[in-house]
Amino acid sequence: MSLAGAAAALSLAACGGGHRAADAGTGADGSSPPSDAGPPVGGVEGPPLRLPRGNRTALRLPSGRVVVAGGDLDRSGNHEVEVYDPGAGAWGPALRLTRDATNNTADLLAGGDVLITGGAGMELTMRLPVPSPSSDTCFLYDPATHEASRAASLAEGRSHHRSAVLGTGEVLVAGGAGTLGTPPDAVTFALASAELYDESSAAWGPTGPMAEARFDHTLTRLASGAVLAAGGRNDEQPALGSAELYDPGSGAWRTAAPMGIARVWHGAALLPSGRVLVAGGLGADGTPLASAELYDPVADRWSPAAPLPAPAADLALTVLDSGGILATGGVRDGSFTGSDMAAVYREDTDRWDLMGPLRTARSHHSAVQLPDGRVMVILGLPDRTGITATTELSEEPLR
């Protein structure tokens, strides 16, 4: 099956499944019975960005400021970088890049620059059947000067890829969707290839390909320095259960134990114990998932974790300074309606503590913890047709 066919099947399954998030506490869909709700994550309306968009690339800088690069506009890519200053409580002037960036990645380099990698110049993520041209264009953003310059180009254009900063300081980019030709005749396909960016030489170099082509997966750097790739989708399968491990020393991937449930548009986060939490996503039938799993890299084994309070795909998982994992938003049902869910996972008790709801239901967004412990939820898609420029802040620090 082509990517377009697989994507269309997924979209139809999601839209036609009639699935609705279960009422809190029913557990009918496998979700967790909620505990007493904590303080609202979206207790205070924050300052909006200049343009509405979906974005998953927000980064907290060592200075405490927050950088947002690119994102999804309505049927087009965004080419702006905006920076939030917590001291001033405001976003600074937008910086325009020379090319759109949507479904791109952004990583903080050791030298302080932000590497903005690849992406596509059109189409929202949710509009799956329409192929988008993938880009090899990269930028280096300098937070000190609020200027951006062209970086070395990728060997292969890609969007919907994932990235991770290695212990060496290199940036690993793996998988993604590539394109041949130009719309409307573009052919889109899943990539297995991977590349490494070396800041000292300002160049990309080759490294070993993944065993299985995938995009919309997760990449998580482990305590050992290895990188776990999990889930995603490809030309033949709307959701993958497979996982693999990248060894920075050899530059090779090896197959890891598969997840218990195939998933795409899920979240992944490293826990204090060194295990990896994977939560939510879409299943192979296009239904949003509440289930969660834990990966033990020492035993190479997955085990069930407490499920989310409600199904959520394209949610944000944020590692809190306390070691807890904050889950916010996500697609809650087959109509792609955004969720206002907020909950914190506690590894020591294997439970989700339900927080007060977001002010604005959203998916395909970012959430960042600020230096004072409060969390800012940024941008996103409230539903299938809309995008928002809004932000929201928790009233008090989250732990």
**Count of domains observed in the chain:** 1
Q: Which CA distances in Å does 239 have to 158, 196, 211, 299, 339? A: 19, 26, 16, 24, 21
Q: Tell me, yes or no, whether 317 lies in a domain.
A: yes
Q: Tell me, yes or no, whether 140 lies in a domain.
A: yes
- The CATH number of the domain holding residue 79 is 2.120.10.80
Q: Tell me, yes or no, whether 74 lies in a domain.
A: yes
Q: Tell me, yes or no, whether 398 lies in a domain.
A: no
Q: Domain limits at 370?
A: 3-393
> For the chain, what's the residue count?
399
Q: Tell me, yes or no, whether 399 lies in a domain.
A: no
Quick one: pLDDT at residue 27? Answer: 39
Quick one: pLDDT at residue 26? Answer: 35
Alpha carbon distance 341, 25 (integer Å): 13
Alpha carbon distance 238, 258 (integer Å): 16
Quick one: pLDDT at residue 190? Answer: 93
Q: Tell me, yes or no, whether 373 lies in a domain.
A: yes
pLDDT per residue, tens digit, the chain (399 aa), is 333 333 333 333 333 332 222 333 333 345 544 445 677 887 899 999 998 888 889 999 999 999 999 887 655 556 789 999 999 999 999 999 877 677 899 999 999 999 999 987 444 333 343 456 788 999 999 999 999 999 999 999 999 999 999 999 999 999 999 887 776 677 788 999 999 999 999 999 999 999 999 999 999 999 999 999 999 999 899 999 999 999 999 999 999 999 999 999 999 999 999 999 999 999 999 999 999 999 999 999 999 999 999 999 999 999 999 999 999 999 998 788 999 999 999 999 999 999 999 999 999 999 999 999 999 999 999 987 788 999 999 999 998
Q: Tell me, yes or no, whether 308 lies in a domain.
A: yes
Which backbone phi and psi does 107 adopt, to 5 degrees? -135, 140
Q: Are 59 and 70 in contact (CB under 8 A)?
A: no
Q: Tell me, yes or no, whether 379 lies in a domain.
A: yes
Question: What pTM was computed for the model?
Answer: 0.88
